[in-house]
Amino acid sequence: MRMAELSRRSRVSIPTIKFYLQQGLLDRGRLTSPNQADYGESHLERLRLVRALVEVGGLSVAATHELIADLDTPGRHLDERLGRVVRAIDGAPGDPDDTPAPARERVARLVDEHGWSDTSADYPARRRLEQLVATLARLGADDVLASLDRYAGLASEIAAADLDLLARHDREDAVLEHAIVVTVLGDALLGCMRRVAQAAESGRRYPRGGQESTGRGSSHA
Amino acid sequence: MRMAELSRRSRVSIPTIKFYLQQGLLDRGRLTSPNQADYGESHLERLRLVRALVEVGGLSVAATHELIADLDTPGRHLDERLGRVVRAIDGAPGDPDDTPAPARERVARLVDEHGWSDTSADYPARRRLEQLVATLARLGADDVLASLDRYAGLASEIAAADLDLLARHDREDAVLEHAIVVTVLGDALLGCMRRVAQAAESGRRYPRGGQESTGRGSSHA
């Protein structure tokens, strides 16, 4: 296909495609004349992945370059490629020594009980989870900590929905592209829906203007 | 109680308490001598609320001052106070005219179908949800959009867990304090657990090192 079609199908503008080509993020097409090149499906897939990394994941061009070279190393399995992409977006984990031991132990139990044991102890999200648990303990939010199990069960359901989404795609680049979209936009999406649902649930539990308008409702004892 | 006990019970340092007193975020205690004051339970509750707004919610001292004065206006019902706190933390909603009509209509249907209709159309989270839906459409992530319903169902379950947490508290200031902690830290907490659960689920669906190590597993067709 010509660059115009590549642009239309990828929804990436021609100047942006030219920029990616110039930066080496996308392979040059097969030259059909001195001024014209032909691009294939593999260019389309790669372009979508690059766009997801740069525009959605917020990676720098240099970081995207490095990650793509890394992903292209032969022998990488999809699960490993997925892990590398998420690590590149999430950044390096904090120093585990900064986190108090009780928080680390609490998260280790949670990981065990919810069958998350495959995640290595230096996974960035696990480090951050330990730091959050430590913050909640410092704030005295014991009730939130007591509800960790309930939230962890819901997190497993969300992750299953996420992986079901990825399973719809056949090409690995498409899986990676969608992993980035789901990883980055998925948190914001769920956060917004949670807020909207909270407002509705709060309105139901603490109805305004009714007999309970001077205090908290009694229907949720 | 003396300031030392107020500090111990609230886990807020004495210099920070003095700063809050000086900024008018906390009422002065009843003077028992020229250099000593006595503080009650209401000071403790208010101090925890202020700390949550400033340290967890990231509000400025000025914004906290304004919000607290606003919350103290007589006649405010808890649901309305909760809404004001969340709005202060989330910031002003974007301009709805910036969002394409299809995204607004899609969110309106979602809100209807999940019983979230109590949330007014200018709620910041709803505005942001519309903007995210527009971004996903622009990226061509139709499969994510097709899964909105499934995620919305999970968001409702999370919101029910959130409100159950708040229902454990009897005093309104404690409810507000916990709403801030849950609102701000809750998203990060769930995001981290989602990531850890995704990694475990990905490891299960795409096992490494087995016969399927050159491509995607076939067990999840």
pLDDT tens for B19-67 read 999 988 999 999 999 888 999 988 988 888 888 888 777 788 888 888 8
B126: closest CA of chain A, how far (Å): 6
CA-based max dimension of chain A: 80
Taking contacts as CB-CB distances below 8 angstroms, the residues of chain A near B78 are 206, 215-216
Report whether pLDDT(A118) > 80.
no
Cβ distance of A185 and B159 shorter than 8 Å: no
Residue A151 confidence (pLDDT): 94
Model pLDDT, residue B219: 34
Taking 60 as the threshold, does the pLDDT of residue B213 lie above it? no
Model-level ipTM above the cut of 0.85: no
DSSP-based three-state secondary structure for A204: helix
Contact A197 B56 (CB under 8 A): no
Each residue of A15-50: pLDDT tens digit? Answer: 999 999 999 899 999 999 988 899 998 899 888 888
Tell me what the mean pLDDT of segment B86-90 comes to: 75
C-alpha span between B217 and B211 (Å, rounded) = 9
pLDDT at A168 over 60: yes
Bridge partners for B30 per DSSP: B38
Beta bridge partners of B31: B37
Structure tokens at B184: 């701000």
The most confident of the ranges A60-64, A69-73, A105-109, B139-143 is: A105-109
User: How far is residue B126's CA from residue B116's CA, in Å, rounded to a whole number?
Assistant: 10
- CA–CA dist A55, A52 (Å, integer): 5
What's chain A's average pLDDT?
A: 82
What residue in B sits closest to A164 (Cα-Cα)? B220
Chain B residues touching residue A89 (CB < 8 angstroms): none
Nearest to B140 among A11, A185, A190 (CB): A11
DSSP class per residue in B94-115:
PPGGGS-HHHHHHHHHHHHHTT
Residue range B89-93: mean pLDDT, rounded: 67
Q: What is the pLDDT of residue B94?
A: 60
CA of B111, closest CA in chain A: separation in Å?
A: 8
Residue B209 — very low, low, confident or very high, per pLDDT cuts 50/70/90?
A: low
Q: How far is B33 from chain A (nearest CA, A)?
A: 31
| Residue A27 CB coordination number (10 Å) | 12
A216: confidence class by pLDDT, cuts 50, 70, 90: very low
What pLDDT is recorded for position B4?
A: 95
Q: Which amino acid is at B80?
A: E
Read off the pLDDT of each residue in A154-169 and give the average, rounded to a whole number.
89
Place of tokens 């809050």: B20
Q: How far apart are CA B181 and CA A135, in angstroms?
A: 10
Higher pLDDT, B35 or A151: A151
Nearest CA-CA distance, residue A5 and chain B, Å: 16
What pLDDT score was predicted for residue A51? Answer: 85
Of the two residues A91 and A116, the one the predictor is more confident about is A116
* Residue in A172, A185, A200 nearest the CB of B119: A200
Q: Do residues B214 and B202 lie in contact, with contact meaning Cβ atoms separated by under 8 Å?
A: no
In percent, the amount of chain A with pLDDT more than 90 equals: 26
Given this model, what pLDDT does residue B154 score? 95
Mean pLDDT confidence for A94-121: 82
Say if the Cβ atoms of B79 and A203 lie within 8 Å: yes
Nearest to A71 by CA among A165, A175, A202: A175
Q: CA B60, CA B91: separation in Å to the nearest integer?
A: 12
**Do residues A144 and A138 make contact, with C-beta atoms less than 8 angstroms apart?**
no
DSSP A95: P
Which of A114, A131, A139 is the mutation pick for testing B, counting most B CBs within 10 A?
A139
DSSP state of A97: G
Lowest mean pLDDT of A147-156, B24-33, B129-138, name the range: B129-138
pLDDT > 70? residue B198: yes
Is pLDDT larger for residue B111 or for residue B118? B111
